[in-house]
Structure 1
């Protein structure tokens, strides 16, 4: 990382270090690190010409693409603050973020999965008094925007880039809003680079790797663990607009992909795809995933069926610049599946309970946010006077300092006075051959206060068993205490997800709201 210092300078630094090596592949476009630098330079000069000043916010509301990378890095190189906007957001949600971040320039798309984001915003009636210009990335509008760069010299752009300090805000990412209105989380240049230098080193991302990025760039896992980490390490960026299992298998084969990161369901979909064996996946070297609990068999299958000899699991949240703990690849499949590893290098991690007992996870260090955007009260609730961030997640630390996530505090429910953590029950149910995926929620019960309800996605060829309450009850009862066994099982074709791609347990609770027993 020596010499990069800021994200504003990262494309320049990577070009100096990696030069003519391949930096990014998207569609028919193949750019070297030097070529990427030149495109970022032009975008930065266009941003400056538009009148964006140091510290002004520039948003990107668009799916993964090469131009997303150029627009984002160009905005930051010009001294701007990047505001990635979730592509699942509707106009009112996006407008709220644009207003609160005081965005002056927006990059977006005119057609993604049938949605014209620019028109959506224009026709919504939302007032955005600070937004001066909207540029659609994949249209003539992008070319017109870049043409505006000509009056700004390269010397002026470099001076603007050099003026950015490691302590300046580089980006503002907004939380998923699962517990209320999304909160803005600013992160500095120095935080981002230090965290993802340590992240890349721990997971063994290296020069020459070819990293397929299916995680959306509006999320830390896509932009920071993807784009930034690749530039730091000299790995090739391979953006994927949407996840489609067969398209990903084809791209792994054709582009000789060596690194893939994603949620467990991404890997399950690839492993169980009926045509998987027809694709040459021998280039795969490394996989990174994360969840409260992962079936041990999945870790083994990622290694055997997908050929990723190096598998890592990790845990983090937006307020910790995306990383709290990482489990290195040399650990056993059981450790990788059941834990998220140890604290990020140079940071502290503890659980608010005796060792071996579940409690709220707290973390402290250079990765912790300095505060929510314009929300000192929420900041005081999240970060205490000693700098400890309260994650809102529940976990257990073992004798080696490895963290096992048991659940979200707000997902826990109480059955007859006993705490039940849904992730533990979900882990057991995913071990049943008929269950591909599952979510467990607590619902009111007249006798016990609350009971569990399980929503199961059937595995291919086994739709009936996933809805067989007697079978799944017996299976769970053999493996868990009786109070943890769900009182109802529902077979569903897919689990609902919120705008951040997380399972929407609020929706499931509403669906199960009339379920009572006793």
Structure 2
């Protein structure tokens, strides 16, 4: 396509796809030409509020049309986007606003029964110059020092369209498009800087692997504040002409309603989403074509059931991280075992290598992040002198270049002198009937140093069943010594299990 900035992609989509549906959010249905017009209005509103090119605009909203319009409008105005995890506390959100020096904040007034804006105000922190409160669940009520969504849009009247177009024209491929803060499963989150060209390149590669076209309708459950929902979601829709249908909160029955009513064909998500769909009574899901999953171990049995029972023609696994977005993907035609056991082959111009022992996954290429926000030391630690990004993941490459992840450096524990990677044990346990979800952590042991403890979500199983199953399939030192049955595993918004919380439970 050759468009190397996000404003250029928005314009090209309007020219190419016109009145075809771009975005469906409840009763709101926008064509690509309509979307461009709305994006221009938001860009003019930001300009009217004094947001300059390079200024940072923070968004803390769930997956709604407001997120899409705010993000694209800010980028169109030459600003840099700072998506905020909606699960963050007010204190964590303020930390990001301060560190990013945000000039504007668009915030959900009410989401899941909480007034996000009021909670942030209660911290006593100084807020950005412009604060837009978006009511999602309750009628709007005026709050001093803030604008409602409609009041914000009305500001656009003070700035001519030509000014917004000049802003969009001035955006360069190498300009910073966004600062995505890492999910912070360990320690303080870091702000990852990406350029416009990188966002577009990665989205194009993802769309190409999934063969996404203008005939597709894409249900976006992955949060927009995460690179998967934003870059492999919104931007993929713009590049391909696929219709984006966001879901603010995952609800399995509401998702099935949307699949049926909107004839959804593309549905990426964590494995737990597909397991949830499979547990529901059958509905008309005949429109489903493409599933992309990852973020956790994927059992081959799940891949086969997704094809057989949910009707997916293509099920792909992928591997990515905020610092590089999507690094590897399977390809259409890969068999269920390959899709389950590997994360596919390099994409988006990446080289993938295995560094040292125990074998850290390293990646290099034009789409590795520009660096961490205001943290040269952490950047130098993550990206070495030869340009290799050290991921902290442990893995292996086969002869065809397929990547198999075996664990995280930080998750590894040593049992009786042997390295144990929990992902390998989890992969085995996912094949045990009755197991719906599982996570393994190392716990202290006087004799062996550390031993495994398995946290299992499942039905009709005993500790002995779990241990016996592992003993048949794994070396003795890899077999968990302890088993705990839980209702669910703690996960962050991108589907990763928060093992530090599980580790706390074992102390």
Bin for the TM-score computed over the shorter chain: over 0.9
TM-score normalised per structure 2: 0.96
Q: CA deviation at 1:501?
A: 4.2
Give the Cα separation in 1 of the matches to 2:492 and 2:315: 27
Residue in structure 2 matched with residue 342 of structure 1 by the alignment: 345
User: Which of the numbers 134, 139, 157 marks the counterpart of 1:137?
Assistant: 134
Residue in structure 1 matched with residue 180 of structure 2 by the alignment: 173
Preserved contact between residue 89 and residue 499 of structure 1 (Cα < 8 Å): no
Superposed CA offset, 1:274-318 (max 9, x none): x2x1x1011011110014531101111111111110111100101
Is the aligned partner of 1:297 residue 2:296?
no
Which aligned segments of 4 or more residues in structure 1 are displaced greater than 4 angstroms?
none
Residue in structure 2 matched with residue 516 of structure 1 by the alignment: none
User: Which of the numbers 465, 486, 492 marks the counterpart of 1:492?
Assistant: 486
Give the Cα separation in 2 of the matches to 1:78 and 1:172: 16
Residue in structure 1 matched with residue 227 of structure 2 by the alignment: 220
Superposed CA offset, 1:432-481 (max 9, x none): 112110110001100000000011011xxx2x41xx11111111100111
User: Which of the numbers 308, 323, 326 marks the counterpart of 2:326?
Assistant: 323
Q: CA deviation at 1:500?
A: 4.9
Shift of the 266–200 alpha-carbon distance from structure 1 to 2, 3 Å rule, reads: same
- 3-state SS, counterpart of residue 318 of structure 1: coil
Preserved contact between residue 264 and residue 289 of structure 1 (Cα < 8 Å): yes
Aligned length: 497
Give the Cα separation in 2 of the matches to 1:12 and 1:132: 29
Cα RMSD of the aligned pairs, angstroms, is 1.2
Preserved contact between residue 323 and residue 367 of structure 1 (Cα < 8 Å): no
1:53-132 equivalences under 5 Å are: 53-128=52-127, 131-132=128-129
Task: Note the residue ranges of structure 1 that are not aligned, 5 or more in a row.
Answer: 514-518
Is the aligned partner of 1:250 residue 2:257?
yes
Preserved contact between residue 118 and residue 136 of structure 1 (Cα < 8 Å): yes
- 3-state SS, counterpart of residue 286 of structure 2: coil
1:381-420 equivalences under 5 Å are: 381-420=381-420
Residue in structure 2 matched with residue 435 of structure 1 by the alignment: 435
- 3-state SS, counterpart of residue 372 of structure 2: coil
User: Which of the numbers 286, 292, 305 marks the counterpart of 1:288?
Assistant: 292
- 3-state SS, counterpart of residue 304 of structure 2: helix
Residue in structure 1 matched with residue 145 of structure 2 by the alignment: none
Give the Cα separation in 2 of the matches to 1:101 and 1:499: 21
Give the Cα separation in 2 of the matches to 1:127 and 1:53: 20
Shift of the 437–292 alpha-carbon distance from structure 1 to 2, 3 Å rule, reads: closer
Task: Note the residue ranges of structure 2 that are not aligned, 5 or more in a row.
Answer: 142-147
Superposed CA offset, 1:56-93 (max 9, x none): 00011010001110011001100000000000001110
Shift of the 181–438 alpha-carbon distance from structure 1 to 2, 3 Å rule, reads: same
Give the Cα separation in 2 of the matches to 1:338 and 1:269: 21
Larger mean Cα displacement after TM superposition, 81-90 or 501-510: 501-510
TM-score normalised per structure 1: 0.94
Give the Cα separation in 2 of the matches to 1:499 and 1:35: 30
Preserved contact between residue 361 and residue 392 of structure 2 (Cα < 8 Å): yes
